[in-house]
A and B are shown apart, each in its own frame.
Chain A
Amino acid sequence: MVKVYLDNAATTQVDTEVFRAMRPYYSLKFGNASEPHLWGQQARKAIEESRQIITQFLGAKLKEIIFTSCATESINLAHRGLIESFKVANLHSGKVPHIITSSIEHKAVLETCKHLEQIGWAKVTYLPVDEYGLASVKDVEKAIRPETVLVSIMYVNNEVGTIEPIVEIGQLLKKINPKIYFHCDATQAIQYLDCQVDKLGVDLLSLTGHKFYAPKGIGALYIRKGTPMVRQQDGGGQEYGLRAGTENVPYIVGLGKAIELIANRKSVIVNRTKSLRDRLIKGILKIPETKLTGHPAKRVPHIASFIIEGVEGEAMLLLLSDKGIAASSGSACTSGILAPSHVLTAMRISQKSAHGSLRFSLGKDTTTQDIDYVLEVMPKIVAQLRRMAPKII
């Protein structure tokens, strides 16, 4: 059966080279990196080599990268760890630290912020976005208060692919109050955009490996030197005392290898993916009553999200899957909680329209034939589902 996987924003396969790099660390070089003997030091060396690759990739400095299990963990640590440090400092002044974030962040950011609000450790402003999902630098500026300690904005929105003005926000914060820390969820940006931390002006940056051909279960957090941070996982002092737990050596090695591979291929992949994405967009928009969501220009190379009238998202996904095509949707039926995507809602897309949302996300192996196959199949699926639907006046 033809297989066209266009859900790379959800997850990607482990690259064969990544897998090969990981293998010795399961049963050959399996030592605990905290041990001084040969086995331990082999593991330690592998971890530090991987760390160095990521440090270089992000333009960071020594001891500024720690390994976590995923971006969600990195995000939790970044927000909770920072706020807890302020909680301790503000014990007697009674001021609650303030966080500014956007209403279209990934749930990892939103739920962490909500939790901090619930326990009274922070007040949070959730900035609106425009109809393209773009956050405004002016809105960030207006929201800043004397108690603001953290601004947290994603680099690329995972549902619609809009690129947020991270550099501009970083510059704004430096100008207004350099004591405000800036976190960026770079999960969907790592492969495609410039993630140099000084260029972005960020103090904290979260990423996860399974979006760029490393396994699920490994991520990293960049923490600029001097950023206050209270560890959220106590124990044996690993990762500079910030994240206890015996290091997952094979996965750490895998993450480093995956970063190395994307660094080598970046411009080729960016250009190829962009042109395939544009080919897909052009073709899908030929289907009547179909709109592209997200910003028309400030869009990451791999994501193309649509709203298609008169059809429901999950039904499209199932019929596409029957034809060997993987995609994703933000419809209420596809969520586990019967609510349409909070991102589409924040972009003021009606529930009725969000009903027919469909996201394609390309990968490094996507070919022109893959795109053309989708363009052949999609109009038929849409027609079939529209025929099945009642005519509502």
Chain B
Amino acid sequence: MGEIKNPDGVATVGNRRCGDIMKLYIKVKDKKISDIKFQTLGCGAAIATSSIITTMVKGKPVAEAEKITNQAIAQALGGLPPVKLHCSLLAADALKAAIANYRKKK
């Protein structure tokens, strides 16, 4: 949790319906996600999904991290109630956007 100064990739995504906002910072070294931090303004599920996605992808190759689905995120949390599934989508989107941002910067 927190900020990364001089990240290699960063993205902010928001869900217009519920108002939650997630920001992901990534650092990439040797094509792997060497560090990842999150900042979230949102409900318990939003905090949980953004937090767990950082544990899931830290140390993984970028190409692999990019493929993480929202279902995998929900599963890692032991499942999510239907009304909170959109939080896992938000986290997955945030990661894809951060990686896209990293690619663009390169």
Name A residues whose Cβ lies closer than 8 Å to a Cβ of B. 310-315, 318, 331-334, 336-340, 351-352, 355, 385, 388-392
Tell me whether A390 and B47 are in contact (CB under 8 A): no
Tell me whether B19 and A392 are in contact (CB under 8 A): no
Nearest CB on B from A9, distance (A) = 21
Q: How far is the CA of A388 from the CA of B54 in the complex (A)?
A: 14
26 contacts between A and B (CB under 8 A): A310-B41, A312-B42, A315-B44, A315-B46, A315-B47, A318-B44, A331-B18, A331-B19, A331-B43, A333-B45, A333-B46, A336-B83, A340-B19, A351-B19, A355-B19, A385-B41, A388-B39, A388-B40, A388-B41, A388-B47, A389-B39, A390-B12, A390-B21, A390-B22, A390-B40, A391-B39
Name B residues whose Cβ lies closer than 8 Å to a Cβ of A. 1, 12, 17-23, 39-47, 83, 86
Q: Assuming A315-B44, A390-B12, is B39 touching A332 (CB within 8 A)?
A: no
**Cβ contact of B43, chosen from A310, A334, A336, A337, cutoff 8 A:** A334
Q: Given the complex, which residues of A lie within 8 Å of B41, measured CB to CB?
A: 310-312, 355, 385, 388-390, 392
Residue in A315, A331, A339, A391 with the greatest tally of chain B CB atoms within 10 Å: A315
Nearest CB on A from B27, distance (A) = 17
Q: How far is the CA of A91 from the CA of B67 in the complex (A)?
A: 64
Q: How far is the CA of A353 from the CA of B96 in the complex (A)?
A: 29
Q: How far is the CA of A147 from the CA of B43 in the complex (A)?
A: 46
Nearest CB on A from B9, distance (A) = 15
Q: How far is the CA of A359 from the CA of B31 in the complex (A)?
A: 48
Tell me whether A332 and B19 are in contact (CB under 8 A): yes
Residue in A333, A337, A355 with the greatest tally of chain B CB atoms within 10 Å: A333
Tell me whether A338 and B40 are in contact (CB under 8 A): no
B18 to A, closest residue via Cβ? A332
**Cβ contact of A338, chosen from B17, B22, B47, cutoff 8 A:** B17
Q: Assuming A310-B41, A333-B42, is B17 touching A390 (CB within 8 A)?
A: no
A333 to B, closest residue via Cβ? B43
Tell me whether A388 and B44 are in contact (CB under 8 A): no
Q: Given the complex, which residues of A lie within 8 Å of B47, measured CB to CB?
A: 315, 388
